[in-house]
A and B are shown apart, each in its own frame.
Chain A
Amino acid sequence: MDVDAPQQSEDLFEDPRPSGPILAVDVGTVNTRALLIDSADGMYRFFAWGEAPSTAQAPWSNIIQGVAWAVEQITRTTGRALMDERFNIVMPERTPYLGVDQVVATASGGQPIRAVLIGLMPEFSIASSRRASESAYFQIVDSYSLVDGVAPETILNRLLKDPPDVIILSGGTDGGTVEALRRRIDLVTLACASTDRSRRPSILYAGNAELADEVADLFQEIGINHLIAPNPNPILGVEQLDELRAEIVKLYRAQKSRSTSGFDEINDWSELGIVPTAQGFGQLIAILGVLEGENILGIDVGSSATTVAASIDGESYLSVYGDLGVGHAARSSLDSVRVEAVARWMVDASPEPDDVRDAIWNKWLFPHTLPATPEARDLEYGFAREVVRTALRRLRDRLGQPLPAFQQILLSGATLTRAPHPGIGVMSLLDGLLPTNSPRILSDAYGIAPMLGVMSIANPRAVVQVLDTGAFLEMARVLVAEGRARPGDIVARGTLTRPSTGDVIEFEAPYGTFTVVPLPQGDVAELALEAKGVTFDLPGGRRGYTTQVYGSQVGVVIDARGRPYRMPRDAGARRTLIERWQTDITRREFS
């Protein structure tokens, strides 16, 4: 089991580090974001934010340009200059209008690092290496275990003819037998030593600790760039990925430094160096789990990858799916997502599968584009639903059991957080996840979750305070009705009492629909609910439920569509139903 227990403890949040402005930057595949956090009245607050296109590719071919544009927007908003004319960061702070004291940086953009995994058993060493490397956006081009039947000579030929950037060599338990692993080491040594120095892969050894010194000496002698990490499977059935991940981040930085202009400069700004965005995201979800004492799910549907992070009963999980995404990875997503499944979500028409496929391939060609027509919008969100659904199915498979109830769900990625209406983002999540409880849905609309995750390593107090001041937007509080009824039957009646205004809003929820009770962001209200023929996962029971709810972009959403809900087979009836759901949750007619 992949267990990455968060390292923070409560006392870390008491860190009395002196306050000073912090610049956080995230270089994504499509967009680069910058965030300024500063203290006011003794509390860290989220001050300003900027976003610009990423510039890793030609014609700029240097990621600093995108960072400079994003930072320029912060300067325009706050009057605080953060970079000089040569794109150097001004640090430490010189005046209240010049410079910052700290920089944290995350990155996910650019060409992934091509990695080959060589190990012994697919379910142990190979699986651990794969999980650890995914979070640093390694593209696993091949993996070889003892049981896959690939002859050593075949492996050798593949390594020599198409050398990867990195080989992760693992296997065995500490103190266990070494013969099989030693043969793999010899094979890798022969391949690397025979490869031209300019193309020679770096090796990360994370196998039986007994061979670690021997391997280090051997690679040193031959001139192979290498790192040694503790065995992630020191004893059978135990997986410890933290230190392996830390070494993988070092490899990530070394490789990116070679391939991405501007990477070194930004890396030098930050005491922690650039951290892969997914790791920052996972770190933040882990911290939220600790802070809230709840099950938290984070899902970031990005252009080039979909990241799922979860904190379940205090244990954290992180998976990065580089083949699932709605832009750069749109084409490869179609290996897992059926175009017919995407087409069923279209409201305005029933497109042919070919039309859906073409649109998704065009999104792959031009990943930064926005849907401009109703058809393109429906397709974009149909696709996003299926990507979410696929990613969560993989998480469920990894856990080996149904997903637990998540009390909070954090959405990230522009597709879900900047939908034409927040209700469309919420509906895409609900259709992809099909929760059966009553979660709070939060939006990482500014894409700052990974930056906050990294910041928590050095300055947890700042992160806690920024979270308290509303770093994430409340998108919706969803109450899911479980049970069966006839469509149109009223399955819930209730009131929402707003102490701030004295208003009491009465509502009822027919089965087969969404019912939305608006409650503005920043407000808090008391919800009382009586159910008929269905149940809700809320405090209370037969006589009714009561709970406190926070205001949000969409409001309180009663999802009385049923679990699992059934969609009509007839295309016209299905379109009508989806259109109605969409209108219910957004409270507006979309053309």
Chain B
Amino acid sequence: MSIAASHSRVSTSATVKREYDIPAGGLSSLTENQSIGALETIADVEFPADFKMVNIGDQLGVSAEEAVEYLLKRVGESVEVGEEIASRQRGLGRIMVKSPIKGRIARVEKGMVLVEGETEQTDILAIAPGVTVIVEPRRSVVVETTGVIIQAAWGTGKNIWGTLKVLDEIGKAATPDAERFTIDHRGAIIVIGSPATGALMRAAANVGVKALICSSVRASLIPRLPEEVPLVVTQGFGEAPMDQQLLTLLNTYNGREAAVDMKIQSNWRDIRPEIIIPVASQSMTEHVELRPYFEVGHKVRVLQAPYLGEIGTVTALVDEPQELASGLWSPGAEVEIPAVGTAFVAFANMEQLD
């Protein structure tokens, strides 16, 4: 059965819908059908920096139920550091309970007072320009962008918006030469067709490269990657070069503004980082409806060695299981891969490209 277990997108005429979740304490002032630029504010979010718990019952020497009677502040009221929040006369003296931080009284429960520290503010910014299509001010905003989308294999670091500069071309030796960065690359999203190395990443950080898009990276290098340079790899882990079609595609848009949307990858969700290049003038297609089965003519990406990350086209379906070089048997397809020729690829080892 030729069910496509995995899908991803590499398209030059895509409609990309990006949902921005708004966390608790956040609010968007946008309206639907509103244009928004890259790095413009989607929502403002306020969140408390710290919480302190004050057991006024214990400190006043009374039961949790009685403690409420000695409170000097109500829920929601502001307090300063050291300000009294409860007190009780005891003999000739007075027991005072003071707030350990500046903030507000968030809750009183079972003789305990929860003091919420001052809030910090942050903005949720648009990753790429577009038009809002859904706005739920306290929950989420969906922004639609038209242009090129390339879902990569893996990435790390923050989301980036900047100018795309492609340093390698098909046919030119793509070497991970740390000397290749110049001051012209400062603030740009740099594409190279070879694997990321430690020297390359350090050089990128020294020059002030905004983000690096490479073919692959050694997993052992990940703990040592400089935090200031987000990294996206298109093929996966290891030392594979970039797929020729991808590199050609990125070269087409050399010099254009682009977004790198890292997403949040986890053990449980098949989520990939995306490179989005907004192109307003092209006629765009809606996100292609899901095609659950592989068919002849479909673009696919191979997900296993020896063709990991290569993009090809299905030329024939082979439903009868075939023996792979590993000795396993699997149904699959004949796939035309430009750099390789025609190869049999198990259905499980390729994903459909929209």
Which residues of A are interface residues toward B (Cβ below 8 A)? Answer: 29-30, 52-53, 57-60, 65, 69, 73, 110-112, 152-153, 156-157, 160-161, 186-187, 189-190, 193-194, 196, 198-199, 222, 304, 328-329, 331-332, 353-355, 357-362, 364-366, 368-377, 418-421, 590-591
Contact = CB atoms under 8 A, between A and B. Distances in A.
Grouping DSSP codes into helix (H, G, I), strand (E, B) and loop, the B interface class, with mixed when no group exceeds half, is loop
Contacts of B237: 357-359, 361-362, 365
Contacts of B346: 369-370, 372
A428 to B, nearest CB: 14
B81 to A, nearest CB: 16
A591 B325 CA distance: 8
A377 B270 contact: no
Interface of B: 1, 3-7, 24, 47-48, 50-53, 64, 106-107, 109-112, 114, 153-154, 218-220, 236-239, 266-270, 290, 292, 303-306, 308, 324-328, 330, 345-346, 348-349, 351
B7 A59 contact: yes
Contact of B326 (A355, A357, A371): A371
A60 B290 contact: yes
Contact of B267 (A57, A329, A357, A372): A329
Given A186-B112, A371-B304, A357 B154 contact: no
B304 A377 contact: no
A375 B305 contact: yes
A243 B226 CA distance: 49
A186 B6 CA distance: 47
Closest 5 CB pairs of A and B: A420-B327, A53-B5, A377-B326, A366-B303, A358-B238
A73 B267 contact: no
A189 B114 CA distance: 11
Given A69-B1, A156-B53, A369 B303 contact: yes
Contacts of B7: 59
Given A362-B236, A373-B305, A421-B327, A193 B107 contact: yes
Contacts of B153: 365
Given A358-B218, A369-B349, A371-B304, A331 B325 contact: no
B269 A111 contact: yes
B328 A189 contact: no
8 contacts: A52-B3, A153-B52, A189-B109, A222-B109, A358-B238, A365-B236, A366-B304, A370-B346
Contacts of B64: 186
A517 B331 CA distance: 31
Q: Which of A112, A152, A372, A376 counts the most chain B CB atoms within 10 A?
A: A372
Nearest to B323: A420
Given A354-B218, A365-B154, A420-B327, A193 B109 contact: yes
Nearest to B9: A59
B24 A196 contact: yes
A370 B327 CA distance: 11
A194 B114 contact: yes
A73 B154 CA distance: 34
A342 to B, nearest CB: 13
Given A189-B110, A190-B114, A362 B308 contact: yes
B267 A332 contact: yes
Contacts of A29: 268
A27 to B, nearest CB: 14
Nearest to B218: A354
A54 to B, nearest CB: 8
Nearest to B289: A59
A509 to B, nearest CB: 25
A315 B38 CA distance: 61
B3 A69 contact: yes
A370 B349 contact: yes
A523 B153 CA distance: 49
Nearest to A198: B24
Contacts of B303: 365-366, 369
Given A52-B3, A53-B5, A156-B53, A372 B109 contact: no
A277 to B, nearest CB: 15
Given A73-B1, A186-B109, A160 B51 contact: yes
Nearest to A195: B24
A153 B64 CA distance: 18
Given A52-B3, A58-B270, A369-B303, A420 B51 contact: no
B85 to A, nearest CB: 15
Nearest to B325: A373
A326 B88 CA distance: 62
A321 to B, nearest CB: 13
A196 B349 CA distance: 43
A177 to B, nearest CB: 18
A374 B4 CA distance: 24
A198 B48 CA distance: 17
B26 to A, nearest CB: 11
Contact of B348 (A57, A370, A419): A370
B109 A190 contact: yes
A558 to B, nearest CB: 23
B220 A52 contact: no
Contacts of A189: 109-110
A30 B268 CA distance: 10
A335 to B, nearest CB: 12
A409 to B, nearest CB: 23
A359 B269 contact: no
Contact of B53 (A190, A329, A362, A377): A190
Contacts of B351: 366
A161 B48 CA distance: 9
B304 A369 contact: yes
Contacts of B270: 57-58
Contacts of B218: 354, 357-358
A190 B238 contact: no
B328 A377 contact: yes
Q: Which of A59, A73, A189 counts the most chain B CB atoms within 10 A?
A: A59
A360 B238 CA distance: 10
Q: Which of B5, B306, B308 counts the most chain A CB atoms within 10 A?
A: B5
B304 A370 contact: yes
Q: Which of B6, B64, B266, B327 counts the most chain A CB atoms within 10 A?
A: B327
B348 A377 contact: no
Nearest to A153: B53
Contacts of B292: 65
B278 to A, nearest CB: 22
Nearest to B352: A59
A29 B266 CA distance: 14
Contacts of B266: 111
Contacts of A419: 328
A372 B112 contact: no
B325 to A, nearest CB: 5
A189 B111 CA distance: 12
A365 B269 CA distance: 10
A355 B238 contact: yes
Q: Which of B6, B112, B328 counts the most chain A CB atoms within 10 A?
A: B328
B326 A370 contact: yes
Contacts of A111: 266, 268-269
B267 A373 contact: no
Given A111-B266, A222-B109, A355-B238, 12 more contacts: A52-B3, A111-B268, A153-B53, A187-B53, A358-B218, A359-B237, A366-B236, A368-B5, A370-B304, A372-B326, A373-B325, A418-B328
